[in-house]
Chains A and B, each alone.
Chain A
Amino acid sequence: MLSKSFKGGIHPDYSKNLTKNLPIKTLDIPDQVIIPLVQHIGAICHPVVKVGDQVKAGTLIAESEKLISAKIYSSISGKIKAIKKAEHPVIGSCNAIIIDSDKTDEKETLTGDYPVKMEDFTSQNIIDIIKQAGIVGMGGAGFPTHVKLSPPADKKIDTFILNGAECEPYLTCDDRMMQEHSKEVLKGSILIMKAVGVKKGIVAIEDNKPKAIEAMRTSLNEIRDTRYELRIVVLHTKYPQGGEKQLIKALTNREVPPAKLPFDVGCMVDNIQTAYAIYEAVYNKKPLYERVLTITGDAIKEPSNLRVRIGTPISYIIEKCNGAKDSLAKLINGGPMMGIAQYIDTAPIIKGTSGILLLSEKQVNIKEPDPCIRCGRCIEACPVNLIPIDIARAAEYGKFDIANNANASDCIECGCCSYVCPANIELVHLIKHAKRSIQCDL
């Protein structure tokens, strides 16, 4: 197994020690949650509640009739205060449902005509309940899971991959989930395999998470389900191994072609917390209204792994972790490599938020770029074989046709090129700009 890997990538300072040994704590319910109507890739949801309505944790509050979308549930019990534009951690701002807590935390479960016994669940039952629970990919992209689990009939899936790589530095929530909820995660994985009708599954974990590997091995032996061939593969730690295309390459040596999806090479990749959410939906009829995230960095007083309700404002989480240090220079939604810097701390956490990172001036290290000295480090580091500096230069001069010819759209925005650039050139920033401009032109 040791030889398996992908080309390029980097070995950053992982800084996972801050939180990797801290058990998951459940955060208190905030007085108010802000639940954005966009938390997934696909159509925006329409509210199905009105201002003044009483809701419980688990009450459906928004949905869309469009094929690619995901239902949204209230995460607390209380009263709808407003439906208005609010801060969003990824897209800046969008319409959101704002709910005031009544502090009772009453809950509502999914209803529907489902078999009583687990064995009687058909593949369609599982996909239906995933759709009903509003589950999306929880690694960050937020693609609706029920759509992912229903690939076109001509795409034959032969390998399911549970993505436990958690390659982003600092983040440890998936590591903790595998340690503390290994059985649930594995049962969720088996549900996914059943839903897509695949027999072979791989649990991929990087070798910097020995406790998670141990826990998953133990649980896998306990729940051994002979109908499914599920095994654990330990990968050499390297960023961005948790990227779908890199993970598939490392495990199966298959390359997902440009603009294609994992199912085009017979693979299906799902995140640890997605598998857990599926378990919760199927076994406990619980819709997706909370998740586990890591709040960390050298500018937060008490780094933690927390179970939080969707819609909890970032400011509330920071406050509950004893606040930010004075050295705070950057607030990030997500990890340090791909996360999004926040200009304000009032945005809420959404289904795809895996971390909140507070970095000090020392870590942020903002410098003016030097001229490119053509060292080629960005090319070495690029996991999708691009020449990042060529695309960035084209973008700088507005030559988007050149950027397009250099395959700018293949970029996965992993950040490796910017990380290694000795001249501090904002390569990812420029390439993102090129990608957006190319999209607009098409």
Chain B
Amino acid sequence: MRSMIHVTSSPHIHSKESVKKIMWLVTLALIPSGVWGVWVFGIRALYLIIASVLSCVITEAIILKLRKKPVALNDGSAILTGLLLAYNVSAELPIWVICVGGVFAIAIAKQAFGGLGRNIFNPALAARAFMMASWPTYMITFKAPKGVIDALTSATPLTNIKHNFGFVNPGYMDLFLGNRGGCIGEVCIVALVLGAIFLLYKKYITWHIPIIFIGTVGVLSWAFMGNGLFTGDWLFYIMTGGLVLGAFYMATDYVTSPMTKNGRIIFAIMCGVLTFVIRKWGGYPEGVCYAILLMNAAVPIIERHTKPKRFGGNAHA
């Protein structure tokens, strides 16, 4: 009998999934949207993406080293945070600002809470909120998409509405394809949806959060964002801003969303309601980021009230 035999608790076989694989495939799903962002906003968008990823990865490495933890950069989580952070900013943002954002995302929003799996707030969104509070002018200066010749900078469609510049619908097709002002990774709906279909097919995300989130925003916008009740241009509102990016890739972040199915449904509805409230009455044109962050904080209480029913718990025997 060989002595090299392993003795462990059951089960003795395991699915092929791993944290690393999940992180890398989510990163893969995000690539088309980034490629489009670089295409419409120019090479500067690529520099920002690279700077953001590097800033996150280096910060992660340094802090893991300081915490005397194994420096597991290949789990892909810091790269994913860096990518999402860059997708959430304007291509006009100074490089140093995104570097500070990357440090904040990893050092404060993630590692200060205990690292991977322990953070309360989505690191990329927390960093975005931090940058928004610290350098608002940089954050809301958007570059016009390629093809709009006589403008170097342009307001996003939602900003136009917020500042009473009027309701300017650039056309559903342009919204869908991404010919509009906005953040690097949020503009091209078709690329984001393609990546999301891949993630849904791989069962890395379920439909609950994204569809209910977007659906809630759609219904509320249809009801209240028009000139009269139920006249709102709901299709415009679900395609503008960071809603599609946020709903499919940020609100579904495992770590900062509820683990139970019912919890996810409540989380998604409330994200939708808050997004609508901020867009309609808030000071910012865009509400997705704050809606998700606020709901991140509510996850523990949602989970406490959405525990699965005990097996056999209702039966009378």
Chain A residues at the B interface, C-beta cutoff of 8 Å: 10, 12-13, 169, 245, 254-258, 260, 264-265, 315, 328-332, 334, 336-346, 357, 359, 363-367, 370-377, 379-380, 382-387, 389, 407, 410, 413, 415, 418-420, 422-424, 426, 428-429, 432
Given contacts A257-B317, A419-B14, A376 and B4 within 8 Å (CB-CB): no
Q: Could you name 26 residue pairs across A and B whose Cβ atoms are closer than 8 Å?
A: A12-B13, A13-B13, A254-B315, A257-B313, A258-B310, A341-B6, A341-B10, A342-B5, A370-B18, A370-B75, A372-B117, A376-B260, A383-B311, A384-B311, A387-B259, A410-B310, A415-B10, A415-B11, A418-B11, A419-B11, A419-B15, A423-B18, A423-B19, A424-B14, A424-B18, A429-B8
Residue numbers in A under 8 Å from B22 (CB-CB): 373, 375, 422
Contact A373 B116, beta carbon cutoff 8 Å: yes
Given contacts A341-B8, A366-B6, A373-B255, A255 and B311 within 8 Å (CB-CB): yes
Q: Is B146 an interface residue (CB 8 A)?
A: no
Residue numbers in A under 8 Å from B13 (CB-CB): 12-13, 169, 336-337, 359, 363, 365, 419
Residue numbers in A under 8 Å from B72 (CB-CB): 370
Contact string against A for B residues 13-54, beta-carbon threshold 8 Å, 1 for contact and 0 otherwise: 111011111100000000000000000000000000000000
Q: Give residues 163-178 of B contacting A (CB, 8 Å).
A: none
What's the interface size class on B, roughly?
35 or more
User: Could you tell me the distance between the alpha carbons of A13 and B13 in the complex, rounded to whole angstroms?
Assistant: 9
Q: Chain A's nearest CB lies how many Å from the CB of B167?
A: 40
User: Could you tell me the distance between the alpha carbons of A389 and B118 in the complex, rounded to whole angstroms?
Assistant: 13
Which of B6, B254, B258 sits near A364, CB closer than 8 Å?
Answer: B6
Given contacts A370-B75, A387-B308, A338 and B18 within 8 Å (CB-CB): no
> Majority SS of interface residues in chain B?
loop
Contact A260 B9, beta carbon cutoff 8 Å: no
Q: Chain A's nearest CB lies how many Å from the CB of B305?
A: 13
Contact A255 B254, beta carbon cutoff 8 Å: no
Contact B6 A330, beta carbon cutoff 8 Å: yes
Which of A257, A367, A426 sits near B9, CB closer than 8 Å?
Answer: A426
Contact A258 B311, beta carbon cutoff 8 Å: yes
Contact B310 A371, beta carbon cutoff 8 Å: no
Given contacts A385-B309, A386-B308, A410-B310, A422 and B6 within 8 Å (CB-CB): no
Which of A245, A338, A372 sits near B311, CB closer than 8 Å?
Answer: A245
Closest chain B residue to A418, Cβ basis: B11
User: Could you tell me the distance between the alpha carbons of A26 and B197 in the complex, rounded to whole angstroms?
Assistant: 53
Q: Is B307 an interface residue (CB 8 A)?
A: yes
Residue numbers in A under 8 Å from B116 (CB-CB): 370-371, 373
Residue numbers in B under 8 Å from A382 (CB-CB): 308
Residue numbers in A under 8 Å from B257 (CB-CB): 374
Contact A374 B254, beta carbon cutoff 8 Å: yes
Q: Is B2 an interface residue (CB 8 A)?
A: yes
Closest chain A residue to B69, Cβ basis: A371
